[in-house]
Amino acid sequence: MRFSLAVWVFVLLAGSFGVSQAAATHARQDGNFAQLSADRTSPDIGQWLSEKVVVRHVHHAAIIGRFASSVIARTSVLAQRLTKSALRFLGVPYVFGGTTSEGFDCSGYVQHVFAMHGIHVPRTADAQFYAGRRVKQLRPGDLVFFQTYEEGPSHVGIYLGHGRFVHASSSRGVMISNLSDAYWANRYLGAKNLIR
């Protein structure tokens, strides 16, 4: 069924491409779009050319737009699932090098939450920073990075929205903090995305 549908779409597109190519070739030979008459082309092509309407592949743009919208919707759903999963671990204690619900460090926590959704991320905060794509506008599910105890990205959290992020704090375990808090604002390096 899919194969016959694909063949039908190909034939339809190839046919319309051939008609428009023939009309365009004919128009170039005459040197003037308005000189084409309806008797030499189909009425619709004659009408398009007489009005010098530029035919755009709007149907392609619409298909691409729908595809992009569905990708964004799936990404948004994944981001919602990630943030929901991340909040399940609130209160889990901090353990340096920890990667399980018995105890997490910041990057182990991020790695664990993403792995719950089949997304592989590197183990350390700096490797996660360099693996992601920089974002200009924060969205839930983005990773936020900070320079804390050493030069470069040394702490990471998952952005929840509204200026808040969840992370494994060395002093309080998995918790929610605000990016505008003085401590975090002064150490903020930027945000990266691993799911778009």
- Within a domain: 65: no
- Within a domain: 31: yes
Same domain, 83 and 42: no
Active site residues per annotation: 106, 155, 167
Per-residue pLDDT of 96-144, as tens digits, reads 999 999 999 999 999 999 999 999 999 999 999 999 899 999 999 999 9
Tell me the residue range of the domain where 94 lies.
79-193
Q: Which CATH number does the domain housing residue 102 bear?
A: 3.90.1720.10
Per-residue pLDDT of 159-183, as tens digits, reads 999 999 999 999 999 999 999 999 9
Distances (CA, A) of 149 to 103, 155, 164: 20, 8, 21
- Within a domain: 28: yes
- How far apart are alpha carbons 56 and 104 in whole angstroms? 54
- Within a domain: 61: no
- Within a domain: 69: no
- How far apart are alpha carbons 54 and 47 in whole angstroms? 12
Same domain, 127 and 179: yes
SS3 117: coil
- Within a domain: 186: yes
Vertex 133, ends 193 and 123: CA angle to 5°?
70
Same domain, 51 and 102: no
Same domain, 133 and 84: yes
pTM above 0.85, yes or no: no
Given this model, what pLDDT does residue 122 score? 97
Same domain, 45 and 142: no
Other CB atoms within 10 A of residue 182 CB = 8
Considering its fold, how many domains does the chain have in total?
Answer: 2
